[in-house]
A and B are shown apart, each in its own frame.
Chain A
Amino acid sequence: MLEDLAALGSGFAVALQPQNIALMVAGIVLGVLIGVLPGLGGANGIAILLPLTFALPPVSAIILLSCIYWGALFGGAITSVLFNIPGEPWSVATTFDGYPMAQQGKAGEALTAAFTSSFVGALVAVVMITFLAPLVAEFALKFGPPEFFAVMFLSFACFVGLSRGSPFKAVAAMMFGFILAGVGMDGVTGQMRMTFGSIELMRGIDFLVVVIGLFGLSEILVSIEEGLRFKGQRAVITLKTVLRTWAELPRHWWLFIRSSVIGCWMGITPAGATPASFMSYGVARRMSKDPNGFGKGKVEGVVAPETAAHAAGTSALLPMLSLGVPGSPTAAVLLGGLIMWGLQPGPMLFVEQKDFVWGLIASMYLGNVVGLVIVLACVPWFAAILRVPFSIIAAVILMVCAIGAYTVNSSEFDIVLMLVFGVIGYVMKKLDYPLAPLVLALVLGDRTEEAFRQSLLLSEGSMGVFFSNWLVGGIMTAGLAVLFYPLIGRVLRALSPRAAAA
């Protein structure tokens, strides 16, 4: 342990060289830009800059690239809050309360809360990586398909039953999401499902394309009904807003801790940042004293998903380094970079390339601090975008939506799909169909099904595999308990007449 701390110390010494600090700032700024533009993911930025980094020493190169990653994580929240367009998949849950806050003129508060939460989540995850890396890597190995399915099941269980209004509509929306997720090639048998001979559909329906239409485009349509302008544009936001929000945030310390734990757990398992954000949002709402305030602009609804997403995004780098398994496309491209620098990701990296590993971990600390300072300083600017006249900003948003939809798969068909989902989203919003279950099912649906079927292949068809050891059995039991808790509670209340009378 002491040895590790000394190694971390020398890592800081490397990361604090002026050249590396400059690279950090450049990386964060670029990353924020990439995170803001939907469709242009961290993977793009890193892939493009990768060749430029060959002239740098590996530690400097990884500092630059991982800072792009942090910047993209921060940046994803900006468009979610301001325009209801999630820049990255893991910021979808941030729109649920972040956008209503912006409509109420509290864009500055929402952005400050989002950035600060990101920072806290990432910091907790980095601390965990620093002290528990070997242990955590060991734990990640315990996750086979049944365990993975159990985690997915738990995410769904946390989220189901949250929506207000007609349960039929919630079920219909969720099933529609699942069916959309099933379009394309079935990963287990290689058969085509619901593609009807179309090459475009064989690729499957991408989550980001749907979300850009369903959230971003449909929001423009809904907001113009009330005249050609956006709500909340009158708010004046200065750096004082940042300080005021900060004074409020410590009250939510328990929420921060809980969300960080959920995020770290989901990052290691490795389910990833997107399910982590949904799960954390669901748990926050269930445990809140005022669950009905969620979705209407509650700061907790921003804190919970952002903290978890970043804790997950950060801790997901651990399986990449220690096992050589990329947790995300971005991590996959980083993995390619490691190979180009002559480093071999995997268990031996921690043994043979100590300087590199600790330099990277040190840059995680510093990169997040630098990132937080930069994005917070820019909050008034970001919020000022809302004051641009509707006639300009609406067209620019439409262009950004089209570009975002296209870049996901370099396909013009996806732009059309985005438009169609924009109209679907408009109709669904007007008729009070909840969009969150649809999105959740779409983003997790195919991987959940895949894990379920892989598990059954491994067990030769026996369902007992989901309770075959303490780990998978424990998660499944937790999932079932969360799922049926409201029902059990109702039954218990009904059975005790005294409580009902009181």
Chain B
Amino acid sequence: MTTLARRQLFAATGASVIAAPALAPQAAAQRAWEPARPVQFIVPAGTGGGADQMARVIQGIVSKHSLMRQPLMVVNKAGGAGAEGFLEVKNARANPHYIIISLSNIFTTPLSTGVPFSWRDLTPVKMLALDEFVLWVNAQSPWTTLRQFVEAARAGRLRMGGTGSRQEDQIITVAIQRATGATFTYVPFRGGGEVATQLVGRHIDATVNNPIEAVTHWRSGTLRPLCVFDARRLPGEGRVTETMGWQDIPTCREAGLDVEYLMMRAIFMAPGVQPAQAEYFRTLLARVMETPEWRDLMAQGAFNTTTMTGDPFRTWLEREEQRHRSLMQEAGFLAQ
């Protein structure tokens, strides 16, 4: 009974804030909001992937710098290509003790599985960064430029490895096919690390791995980047290998392939949370992003450090959702 009463109270104050946002004293009182119990940090992907790694780094930073009084617990809910995690947060209406890290599967999973949810069902908090994609080939392969690679792909079927099925890696592969007219055999694997190793072992011909998944093999001289799927070159000064740095990789457009793809890493909350509660996590994340550990991670993974909140973020989400729908539709990845 007590819980019920308390929940109603929460809902009531929430409603009044929405109804009268101009009331200054109340807003001030709300700003002091702080989690009253442990916060669950949902990862809609398995352990060890890019999203999981980022979530655990955030957890690490928060506890190392004591940024929160309550603990932050990372919980993996990978079922149904992440649908499980998103649904859990969607159903935790107005509960401020849930945050979820999202990757592109917030767009692709509802389309490919037919599970009903979208980013509109959640409260967007902050976009942390955009993860880049690079076209990699084995260093022993004869292809040193994108042009040579595309010619080879047109001449005969090449094997493209990627993470998961009907997700970002396969979407990019399909986009390359449309732009070049070549056909690839797409082979799905379980994770980016596995894909990189398969490419080093020459079991596949190319991948579109994230920088962080392949950088160590690049440095040891076994993989070679051909181009990056972004409008501008990767950030990062200095050299990564003996001769090249991130900024030396041409963009795919420069190299003659008009495909662009970035994957968001963003934080969402449950629907119907109060603005002050979302504001708390926005401030928390801003503080996380000021730490040297976060900057190290960004530099190591050559992330695109664009961050967004509020209306620009919503506009961006809307545009990306549309883009994914048309990409998936053309590729024939929609659930029947």
Interface residues, chain A, with chain B CB atoms under 8 Å away: 43, 47, 50-52, 54-55, 140-145, 184-190, 192, 195, 199-200, 202-204, 319, 323-326, 329, 331-333, 335-336, 339-340, 342, 344-349, 351, 409-411, 454, 457-458, 460
Which positions 173-199 of chain B face chain A at CB distance < 8 Å?
Answer: 185-191, 193-194, 196-198
* Nearest A-chain residue to B108, judged by Cβ: A190
A326 touches B193 (CB 8 A): yes
Extra contacts, 10 of them, besides A185-B80, A333-B47, A457-B185 (Cβ < 8 A), are: A50-B56, A145-B198, A184-B80, A190-B166, A199-B79, A202-B81, A325-B193, A335-B48, A346-B220, A351-B220
Q: Which of B111-167 contact A (CB under 8 A)?
A: 112-113, 115, 157, 159, 164-167
In the assembled complex, how far is the CB of residue B177 from the closest CB belonging to chain A, in whole angstroms? Answer: 15
A335 to chain B, nearest CB (A): 6
| A454-B188 Cα distance, complex, nearest whole Å | 7
Q: How far is the CA of A295 from the CA of B144 in the complex (A)?
A: 58
Please, which residues of chain B bring their CB within 8 A of the CB of A184?
79-80
B227 to chain A, nearest CB (A): 22
Residues of B near A50 (CB, < 8 A) are: 56, 60
Q: Contact between B56 and A47 (Cβ–Cβ < 8 Å)?
A: yes
8 intermolecular pairs with C-beta atoms under 8 Å apart: A52-B63, A188-B165, A323-B200, A340-B293, A346-B215, A346-B217, A347-B216, A347-B220
Q: Give the complex CA separation of A32 and B296 in angstroms.
A: 34
Q: Does B52 contact A (CB under 8 A)?
A: yes
For the complex, what is the distance from the CA of A144 to the CA of B74, rounded to whole Å?
32
Identify B57's interface contact among A202, A326, A339, A409, CB under 8 A: A339
Docked-complex contact A324 and B78, CB < 8 angstroms: no
B267 at the binding interface (Cβ < 8 Å): no
B83 adjacent to A199 (CB under 8 Å): yes
Taking the closest CB of chain A, its distance from the CB of B13, in whole angstroms, is: 29
Q: Contact check, A344 vs B216: say whether CB atoms are below 8 A apart.
A: yes
Are B47 and A325 neighbours in the complex by a CB distance under 8 Å? no
Task: Answer whether residue B231 sits at the interface, using C-beta atoms and an 8 A cutoff.
Answer: no
B104 at the interface (CB under 8 A from A): no
Q: Answer whether A342 and B296 are a contact pair too, CB < 8 Å, given A410-B75, A458-B159.
A: yes
Complex Cα gap A324–B211 (Å): 13
Nearest B residue (CB) for A331? B48
Give the contacting residue for A336; candidates B48, B197, B216; CB below 8 A: B48
B167: chain A residues within 8 A (beta carbon): 190
Known contacts A344-B300, A345-B216; A454/B60 CB under 8 A: no
What is the CB-to-nearest-CB distance from A437 to chain B, in angstroms, rounded to a whole number? 25
Which chain A residues lie closer than 8 Å to B204 at the CB level? 458
Given A50-B60, A326-B48, A346-B216: A142 in contact with B201 (beta carbons within 8 A):
yes
Looking at the assembled complex, report how far the CB atom of B73 sits from the nearest CB atom of chain A, in whole angstroms: 9
Does B15 count as interface, using CB distance less than 8 angstroms?
no
List A contacts of B198 (CB < 8 A). Answer: 144-145
Cross-chain contact of B187 among A195, A325, A454 (Cβ < 8 A): A454
A145 x B203 contact (CB < 8 A): yes
Chain B residues positioned under 8 Å from A457 (CB to CB): 159, 185-187
Q: How far is the CB of B216 from chain A (nearest CB, A)?
A: 3
Contact between chains at B79 and A203 (CB < 8 Å): yes
Measured CA separation A342–B75 after assembly (Å): 24
Q: Which residue of B lies closest to A329 (CB)?
A: B47
Complex interface: chain B residues within 8 A of A349 (CB): 216
Contact check, B80 vs A348: say whether CB atoms are below 8 A apart. no
Q: With CB as the reference atom, state the residue of chain A lying closest to B73.
A: A48
Q: A409 to B60, alpha carbons, bound, how many Å?
A: 22
Q: Does B70 lie at the interface of the complex (its beta carbon under 8 Å from any beta carbon of A)?
A: no
Q: Are the CB atoms of A189 and B165 closer together than 8 Å?
A: yes
* Chain A residue nearest to B165 in the complex (CB): A190
In the docked arrangement, what's the CA distance between A189 and B167, Å? 10
Contact B60 A347 (CB under 8 A): no
Q: Is B313 an interface residue (CB 8 A)?
A: no
Q: Is the CB of B219 within 8 A of A348?
A: yes
Q: Tell me the minimal C-beta distance from B16 to chain A in angstroms.
A: 34
A331 to B191, CA, bound (A): 13
Residues of A within 8 A of B261 (CB): none
Given the complex of chains A and B, what is the CA–CA distance between A141 and B190 in angstroms?
A: 16
Residues of B within 8 A of A188 (CB): 165, 188
Which residues of chain A come closer than 8 Å to B293, judged between CB atoms? 340
- Cβ contact of B81, chosen from A143, A185, A323, A324, cutoff 8 A: A185
Contact B64 A324 (CB under 8 A): no
- Within the assembled complex, what's the spacing in Å between the Cα atoms of A347 and B198? 14
Q: Does B297 contact A (CB under 8 A)?
A: yes
Interchain CB contact under 8 A, B79 and A409: yes
Question: Whole-angstrom distance between the alpha carbons of A276 and B47 in the complex?
Answer: 22
A450 to chain B, nearest CB (A): 8
Given contacts A184-B79, A344-B216, contact A199 B48 (CB under 8 A): no
| B53: interface (CB < 8 Å) | yes
Closest to A352 in B: B219
Contact of A192 among B113, B159, B219 (CB under 8 A): B113
**Chain B residues positioned under 8 Å from A339 (CB to CB):** 53, 57, 297, 300
Q: How far is the CB of B5 from chain A (nearest CB, A)?
A: 25
Contact B300 A324 (CB under 8 A): no
B59: interface (CB < 8 Å): yes
In angstroms, how far is the closest chain A Cβ from the Cβ of B186?
8
